[in-house]
Structure 1
């Protein structure tokens, strides 16, 4: 790339490079040089946009936490339509597993990132907390409509679902991960009506 030529979407190219590197080698070998090499840009471009590598990783974690929360934000509004299982699967799997995996592995290896994300977005959005909050709100709304058992603990079910996402992100590397998530969602929502009451 010639010097002085702006690269549209550079931040997102660098963030995508982080995800590819974590998928290939885990978060322990991340460096600024590795990220820029993976993105195919000059090393100095990362430092032209971020104060240092830690600032870059915070930027990544904030961006992806915001993206994940945005994907599930409208979930409670779907209560009463479609199926409970289908709504949860659609919302939870809207974020690419590569993103969920990279963010989970990165924050597990660098716990301080969670505090940095919380400082920017608030504690309800950092990491996968946005999913937990939205799922709990959605299941509670479905309970009020009689589409989830009244005795079900919506908060505990949401926590269990996020636990599965963490497990998949930290252990699975194959194409069966989405199927595993769908199976767990079906198990968690078993006994709920298949469709909205007519």
Structure 2
């Protein structure tokens, strides 16, 4: 297969197929044969681009981490606009409404993959969740600098609390994902004590309100 655009297309085709399997059937169903069958390509395509299946899975996780980092830039850019609760709720829905929950399950399920990822990112933590926590902390820091949350707000506690709450909301793949109002309610409960009382908190978001 030619390199360049075609190579990127092949990788994305395989990654998207793996994501669909993860979301539909869980990490135990994810095999090289299942991925190539889902992608509708020859069995050898995956191994032409990756040394082995764990290398493919590591590439999948790293690709999804890059998406979180892109989302982080957009979220930080939204600081000072809309409402703090609304921005956070949308970010959590974008994160966990896609493949983030399944990626966490995958990393937990496969010891070899977890070990490989730790070698390439020795900082520790759970891939995707670590980057997502940093994303929220960066956004909350920006809002604190703008005065929309309290100057003494502990963003390093708020961010992982929001990630943990969001993960629990979306973790059950057997039921309908939570609606927008359910996500907003959880976010509002977590950040209520940090929101500034007044217009700077965003429409309808005085201290303690959702």
TM-score under structure 2 length normalisation: 0.77
1:187 to 186, 189, 201: 189
Taking the aligned partners of 2:115 and 2:173, their CA distance within structure 1 comes to 26
Q: Pairwise mapping of residues 137-176 of structure 1 onto structure 2 (< 5 A)?
A: 137-176=138-177
**Retained in 2: the 8 A contact 1:100–1:169?**
no
Taking the aligned partners of 1:168 and 1:81, their CA distance within structure 2 comes to 26
Query: Is 1:53 aligned with 2:57?
Result: no
Cα distance, 1:168–1:105 mapped onto 2, change above 3 Å:
farther
Taking the aligned partners of 1:51 and 1:93, their CA distance within structure 2 comes to 34
Q: CA deviation at 1:195?
A: 4.6
Taking the aligned partners of 1:118 and 1:181, their CA distance within structure 2 comes to 31
**Retained in 2: the 8 A contact 1:164–1:181?**
no
Kindly provide the CA deviation profile for residues 44-76 of structure 1, in whole angstroms up to 9, marking residues without a partner as x: 111111111111111101111111121123433
Task: Give the number of the structure with larger relative contact order, counting CA–CA contacts within 8 Å between residues 6 or more apart.
Answer: 1
> Which is further off, 99-108 or 177-186?
177-186
1:196 to 200, 203, 207: 200
Cα distance, 1:16–1:129 mapped onto 2, change above 3 Å:
same
Q: Pairwise mapping of residues 120-139 of structure 1 onto structure 2 (< 5 A)?
A: 120=120, 123=123, 126-139=127-140
Query: Is 1:11 aligned with 2:11?
Result: yes
Cα distance, 1:11–1:96 mapped onto 2, change above 3 Å:
farther
Cα RMSD over matched residues?
2.9
Q: CA deviation at 1:100?
A: 1.3
TM-score under structure 1 length normalisation: 0.81
**Retained in 2: the 8 A contact 1:65–1:125?**
no
Stretches of structure 2 lacking an aligned partner (at least 5 in a row): 203-210
Taking the aligned partners of 1:117 and 1:162, their CA distance within structure 2 comes to 20
Which residue of the partner structure matches residue 113 of structure 1? 113
Taking the aligned partners of 2:201 and 2:52, their CA distance within structure 1 comes to 54
**Retained in 1: the 8 A contact 2:104–2:126?**
no
